[in-house]
């Protein structure tokens, strides 16, 4: 018994010693590993990596603090519609996204992307180490990667906030941003952002643009096979470009369909049917003719957004091309073409070119609908092959208006101050006063005759009487933009301005007379909405009583005589009451005619971009001929309607 007890004690002691030894070595190993870890951390710290990681984490937090939904909803392509509701232009940017909110993205599109790009999308929190392991395993076993290591959220972070440079720093920051994105936005929002911003090759961003671009249909009209086909492109837009490597795209489609079947997103029958479907591309061939009106549309739309949002011009101009607006206009393309053809035909025999290759003799024209006060057509120059309609003279160019300014600042104001059409006025040359263009003087004549014959002497006398301050105040009330301090002289009565007026301003001024003296700010924008149809703005023109209605009526009655007996004799619209006024500046540098019926007001300017005289140029030649040709055809079929009706 004693020996046995001793042996047991010896065994127990031996076992204890071994256990203590093992524990010692285990602790020693732990200490060694801890030392190694501390050493590694120290080396890592000393090398600056840890500071870099901390900095990247802070940068990611800063990015997220400034993040907003607009980051993902910018670069949307906008649309422009004419008066008939037809699409006439696209507002393009670098990406031209046609944004679809979550509710409008087909479920099969969402399923396709999740199945191929991020199977655990709804489970992870932005970063998925399992996906990296799967990608590595796939690379080893199949020598290819069938699913990437980056989650959908990481890809979104990279596409929106980072570059595609392959560096460890970018990858670390990408993970930090992805994790922060998951905290800030829901899974549904993140998937919506991703699907709308991903690149589908050939300039198409987002599923809707890709669907329209490759199949000429909306995303919700895609078949399952077409959906899988398109969703395969973003993984490698170059390799899976369907216009160049369609066989690669089809293989990728098959893989996506296989994944969707394995994930129970589609049935076996749906899989087989989609796999057997023949993909037939139908690339979009939509093209638009760019007119002079387009640049005016963009200007008016920018101004309308400024009024609606209170933001500055540059911001609104950028948003016009990136926020996916639908811009509805009053531009009538048939009227636009008619006005352009009238200008081109009348000036067709004058083909002298400037040194830059453009026609030397130019024109601008504006047509306003008198019922609405909206611009229905605008021409900023002659049609010329190879010359883009960018510099729109109709609202960008300011020229001396000559005698066409007289009704606006001399005669209608005089009618408000007791003069009538039959009032006697004196046509006589004064010392230091202007001459008449004919250099003939009739003595005592009626005010009506003075207007019809465009007597400079009479306009000069009356302007002195009412004063330049009063006369020019009417232009200011009608938003003429280039009235200068130097213009407050008697020379302005004859259109002798420092800068002048635009065709748009002159036409809107005459439209005010036609509208019983009520001025409406000209524009061509009727409404702007977002892509979902929510109204952003319906611009208000504002009605401003600039002239007394009785004075405007009488001025109209007087101006009718200009086309019957005066400087535009023989140029009236057949069987349609109309009124207007010619204008010619000194040395025949600028020629004008602005006139109206009850239906429309149209203003025409003709001249040289670099001002110079031409003996054939006068308000009674090119301008009135263009006006007559255009207005005659425009009123064809319209019932005769009296002025001042």
Q: Are residues 6 and 74 in the same domain?
A: no
Query: pLDDT tens, 230-273?
Result: 999 999 999 999 999 999 999 999 999 999 999 999 999 999 99
Question: What tokens appear for 416 in the block?
Answer: 């408000």
**Which residues on adjacent β-strands are paired with residue 607?**
362, 590
The answer to whether 211 is a known catalytic residue is no
Specify whether 25 is located in the same domain as 142: no
Sign of CA dihedral 185, 94, 76, 209: negative
Does 643 map to a domain?
no
**Predicted confidence (pLDDT) per residue in 395-454, tens digit:** 999 999 999 999 999 999 999 999 999 999 999 999 989 999 989 999 999 999 999 999
In a domain, 363, yes or no: no
Closest CA to 450 of 622, 565, 592: 565
Whole-number pLDDT of residue 164: 57
Query: Is the pLDDT reported for residue 7 higher than 50?
Result: no
Report how far apart the first and last C-alpha atoms of the chain are (Å, whole number). 137
What does the pLDDT look like over 500-531, one tens digit per residue? 999 999 999 999 999 999 999 999 999 999 98
pLDDT at position 28 is 59
Residue 638 gets which letter from DSSP? P
The answer as to whether 331 is a domain residue is: no
Distance CA 34, CA 591 (A): 92
Assign 2 a pLDDT band (cuts: 50, 70, 90). very low
Q: Examine residue 314 and state whether it is found in any structural domain, yes or no.
A: no
Do 113 and 223 belong to one domain? Answer: yes
Which of 438-442, 450-454, 456-460, 593-597 is the least confident region? Answer: 438-442
Per-state percent for the chain, helix, strand, coil, to nearest 5:
50, 10, 40
Pair (130, 206) in one structural domain:
yes
524 and 431 in a single domain? The answer is: yes
Domain termination residue (choose one: 276, 308, 329): 276
Is pLDDT above 70 for 190? Answer: yes
Domain count, the chain: 3
Instruction: Kindly name the residue from 74, 330, 397, 403 that is annotated as catalytic.
Output: 403
How wide is the angle at C-alpha 580 spanned by C-alphas 575 and 582, nearest 5°? 130
For residues 98 and 192, membership in a common domain is answered with yes
Which of the two residues, 48 and 162, has the higher pLDDT score? 162
pLDDT score recorded for residue 411: 98
pLDDT for position 30: 56
DSSP helix/strand/coil, 305 = helix
d(CA 35, CA 19): 24
Residue located via tokens 């979550």: 102
Check pLDDT > 90 for residue 150. Answer: no
Assess if residue 241 is contained within a domain: yes
Report the pLDDT value the prediction gives residue 127, as an integer from 0 to 100: 79
**Residue 567 and residue 621 in one domain:** yes
pLDDT of 56 reads: 63
Candidate list 117, 173, 182, 299, residue with the active-site label: 117
CB 580 within 8 A of CB 559: yes
Residue 6 pLDDT: 46
Same domain (yes/no): 395, 429: yes
Q: Are residues 234 and 151 both part of a single domain?
A: yes
CATH number at residue 139: 1.10.3810.10
Confidence of residue 18 (pLDDT cuts 50, 70, 90): low
Which of 276, 299, 322 represents a domain boundary (last residue)? 276
Q: Quick one: which of 340, 71, 42 has its CA closest to 180?
A: 71
User: Is the Cα dihedral 95, 101, 102, 106 positive or negative?
Assistant: negative
Q: Which of 219, 254, 276 is the last residue of a domain?
A: 276
Residues 491 and 525 in one domain: yes
Is the sign of the CA dihedral 203, 209, 214, 216 positive or negative?
Answer: negative
Instruction: Say how far apart CA 505 and CA 603 lie, in whole Å.
Output: 9
pLDDT tens, 82-140?
999 999 999 999 899 999 999 999 999 999 999 999 999 999 988 777 655 655 455 45
Domain that holds residue 9: 2-47
142 and 104 share one domain? yes
Residue 303 in any domain: the answer is no
Q: Is the pLDDT of residue 388 over 60?
A: yes
Model confidence band, residue 286 (pLDDT cutoffs 50, 70, 90): confident
263 part of a folded domain: yes
SS (H, E, C) 236-266: CCCCCCCCCCHHHHHHHHHHHHHHHHHCCCC
Residue-wise pLDDT for 47-73, tens only, equals 556 666 667 666 777 677 777 898 999
Indicate whether 484 and 610 sit together in one domain. Answer: yes
The predicted model scores a pTM of 0.84
Question: Does residue 38 sit in helix, strand or coil?
Answer: helix
- The domain that holds 511 is classified in CATH as 3.40.710.10
| Residue 22 annotated among the catalytic residues of the structure | no
Q: How confident is the model at residue 1 (pLDDT cuts 50, 70, 90)?
A: very low
Q: Is residue 589 part of a domain?
A: yes
Residue 296 in this model has a pLDDT that exceeds 80: yes
């Amino acid at each position: 018994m004693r020996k046995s007890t001793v042996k047991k004690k010896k065994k127990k002691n031996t076992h204890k010693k071994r256990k203590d030894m093992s524990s010692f070595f285990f602790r020693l190993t732990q200490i060694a590993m801890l030392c190694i870890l501390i050493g590694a951390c120290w080396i890592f710290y000393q090398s600056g990596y840890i500071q870099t990681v901390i900095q990247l984490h802070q940068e990611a937090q800063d990015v997220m603090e400034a993040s907003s939904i607009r980051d993902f909803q910018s670069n949307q392509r906008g649309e422009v519609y004419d008066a008939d509701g037809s699409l006439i232009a696209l507002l393009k940017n670098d990406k031209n996204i046609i944004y679809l909110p979550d509710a409008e993205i087909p479920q099969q599109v969402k399923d396709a992307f999740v199945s191929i790009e991020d199977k655990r999308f709804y489970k992870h929190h932005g970063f998925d180490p399992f996906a990296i392991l799967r990608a590595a395993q796939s690379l080893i076993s199949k020598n290819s990667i069938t699913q990437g290591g980056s989650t959908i959220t990481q890809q979104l972070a990279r596409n929106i906030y980072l570059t595609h440079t392959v560096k460890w720093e970018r990858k670390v920051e990408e993970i930090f941003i992805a994790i922060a994105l998951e905290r800030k936005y829901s899974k549904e929002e993140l998937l919506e952002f991703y699907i709308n911003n991903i690149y589908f090759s050939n300039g198409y961003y987002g599923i809707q643009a890709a669907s329209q671009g490759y199949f000429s249909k909306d995303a919700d009209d895609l078949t399952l096979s077409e959906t899988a086909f398109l969703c395969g492109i973003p993984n490698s837009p170059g390799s899976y470009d369907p216009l160049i490597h369609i066989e690669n795209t089809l293989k990728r489609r098959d893989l996506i369909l296989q994944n969707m079947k394995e994930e129970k997103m589609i049935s076996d029958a749906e899989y087989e049917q989609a796999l057997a479907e023949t993909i037939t591309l139908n690339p979009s061939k939509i093209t638009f003719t760019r007119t002079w009106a387009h640049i005016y549309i963009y200007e008016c739309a920018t101004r309308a957004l400024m009024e609606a949002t209170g933001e500055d011009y540059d911001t609104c101009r950028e948003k016009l091309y990136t926020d996916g607006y639908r811009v509805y206009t009053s531009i009538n393309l048939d009227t636009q073409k008619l006005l352009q053809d009238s200008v081109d035909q009348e000036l067709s025999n004058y083909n002298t070119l400037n040194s830059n290759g453009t026609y030397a003799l130019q024109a601008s024209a504006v047509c306003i609908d008198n019922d609405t006060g909206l611009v229905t057509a605008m021409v900023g120059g002659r049609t010329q092959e190879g010359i883009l309609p960018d510099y729109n003279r109709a609202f960008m160019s300011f020229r001396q208006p000559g005698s066409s300014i007289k009704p606006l600042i001399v005669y209608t104001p005089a009618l408000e101050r007791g003069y009538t059409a039959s009032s006697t006025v004196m046509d006589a040359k004064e010392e230091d006063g202007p001459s008449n263009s004919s250099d003939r003087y009739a003595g005592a004549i009626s005010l009506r005759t003075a207007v019809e014959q465009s007597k400079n002497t009479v306009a000069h006398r009356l302007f002195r009487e009412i004063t330049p301050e009063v006369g020019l105040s009417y232009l200011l009330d009608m938003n003429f933009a280039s009235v200068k301090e130097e213009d407050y002289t008697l020379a302005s009565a004859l259109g002798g301005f420092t800068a002048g007026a635009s065709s748009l301003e002159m036409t809107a001024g005459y439209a005010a007379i036609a509208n019983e003296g009520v001025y409406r700010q000209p524009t061509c924008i009727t409404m702007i909405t977002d892509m979902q149809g929510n109204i952003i703005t319906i611009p208000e023109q504002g009605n401003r009583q600039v002239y007394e209605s009785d004075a405007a009526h009488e001025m109209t009655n007087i101006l009718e005589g200009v086309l019957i007996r005066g400087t535009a004799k023989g140029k009236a619209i057949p069987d349609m009451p109309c009124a207007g006024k010619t204008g010619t500046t000194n040395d025949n540098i600028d020629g004008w005619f602005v006139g109206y019926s009850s239906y429309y007001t149209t203003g025409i300017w003709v001249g040289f971009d670099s001002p110079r005289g031409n003996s054939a140029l006068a308000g009674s030649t090119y301008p009135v001929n263009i006006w007559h040709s255009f207005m005659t055809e425009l009123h064809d079929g319209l019932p005769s309607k009296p002025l001042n009706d």
